[in-house]
């Protein structure tokens, strides 16, 4: 059964209102944080139908995030809006070829996946933009490299020229307090700086979701991944 049969289609006017409010809050958070970064709003449309992508585009959102390759490809076939697709969920190595359809892969979390992505990109004669996922909090349920492993990983990535390492991505614990959130986001910023020190053009920080995006922006996020705030709760 199509995803849109399970989840009510978002009203375009409601999405527009939500986007307007979120952009205002992002601007205020950026001013408070003082990092001066540009912030990309990534509309997370997982479990929503293609009409959510169209509603986001009509509201001025040009970047859309999906957790799973199969769900994303189904929507790509139905959506006419020229959005930039982001893969924000965990990617299995056997699906590395599919990653080439995305503008940015947020979840590079292992050397084996890095090699698979590089080989597929090289075979296709193209480069692939990726973010290194770091697990700052150490939660067993989350993917990502421990912060201590980032320098060595960054060095090894230099041998994979078909990957453009654009920065770092992280996810904070859902029940974290403000102090813990800031520690996670600061750790991701450190990871981004380590990647840059290793010679990568690492300028981006993907962190912050519907419950914590303002703190993430204060701490330097350049990409926030919002779904519930824009489209309502999933069922």
Q: Which CATH number goes with the domain that contains 38?
A: 3.20.20.10
Give the number of other Cβ atoms within 10 Å of residue 138's Cβ.
11
> Domain residues for 197?
3-230
Using CA atoms, how far apart are residues 85 and 213, in angstroms rounded to an integer?
Answer: 20
Residue 25 domain flag? yes
Measure Cα distances from 109 to 44, 135, 148, 212, 215 in Å: 20, 9, 14, 22, 24
Tens of pLDDT along 122-156? 999 999 999 999 999 888 778 899 999 999 999 99
Contacts of 221 by beta carbon, 8 Å cutoff, 6+ apart? 37, 39, 185, 205, 206, 207, 208, 213
Residue 67 domain flag? yes
Residue 94 domain flag? yes
Helix-strand-coil split of the chain, %, nearest 5: 45, 15, 40
Using CA atoms, how far apart are residues 107 and 204, in angstroms rounded to an integer?
Answer: 13
pLDDT given at position 56: 98
Question: What domain count does the chain have?
Answer: 1
Decide if 20 contacts 224 (C-beta within 8 A): no
Residue 235 domain flag? no
Identify the band that residue 235 occupies on the pLDDT scale cut at 50, 70 and 90.
low
Cα dihedral across residues 66, 209, 156, 153: positive or negative: negative
**pLDDT above 80: residue 184:** yes
Arithmetic mean of pLDDT, 11-40: 97
Residue 222 domain flag? yes
Tens of pLDDT along 26-83? 999 999 999 999 999 999 999 999 999 999 999 999 999 999 999 999 999 999 999 9
Tens of pLDDT along 69-119? 999 999 999 999 999 999 999 999 999 999 999 999 999 999 999 999 999
């Amino acid at each position: 059964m199509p995803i849109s049969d399970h989840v009510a289609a978002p009203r375009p006017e409601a999405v527009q209102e939500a986007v307007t409010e979120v952009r205002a809050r992002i601007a205020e958070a950026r001013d408070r944080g003082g990092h001066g970064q540009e912030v990309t709003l990534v509309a997370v449309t997982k479990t929503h139908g293609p009409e959510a992508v169209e509603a986001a585009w009509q509201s001025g959102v040009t970047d859309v995030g999906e957790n799973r390759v199969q769900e994303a490809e189904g929507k790509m076939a139905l959506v006419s809006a020229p959005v930039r697709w982001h893969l924000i969920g965990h990617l299995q190595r056997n699906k590395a070829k599919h990653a080439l359809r995305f503008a940015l892969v947020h979840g590079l979390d292992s050397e084996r996946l890095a090699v698979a992505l590089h080989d597929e990109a090289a075979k296709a004669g193209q480069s692939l933009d990726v973010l290194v996922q770091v697990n700052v909090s150490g939660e067993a349920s989350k993917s990502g490299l421990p912060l201590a492993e980032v320098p060595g990983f960054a060095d090894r990535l230099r041998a994979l020229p078909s990957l453009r390492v654009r920065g770092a991505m992280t996810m904070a614990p859902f029940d974290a307090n403000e102090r813990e959130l800031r520690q996670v986001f600061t750790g991701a910023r450190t990871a981004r700086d380590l990647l840059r020190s290793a010679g990568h053009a690492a300028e981006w920080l993907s962190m912050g979701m519907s419950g914590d995006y303002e703190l993430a922006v204060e701490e330097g996020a350049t990409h926030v991944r919002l779904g519930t705030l824009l489209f309502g709760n999933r069922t």
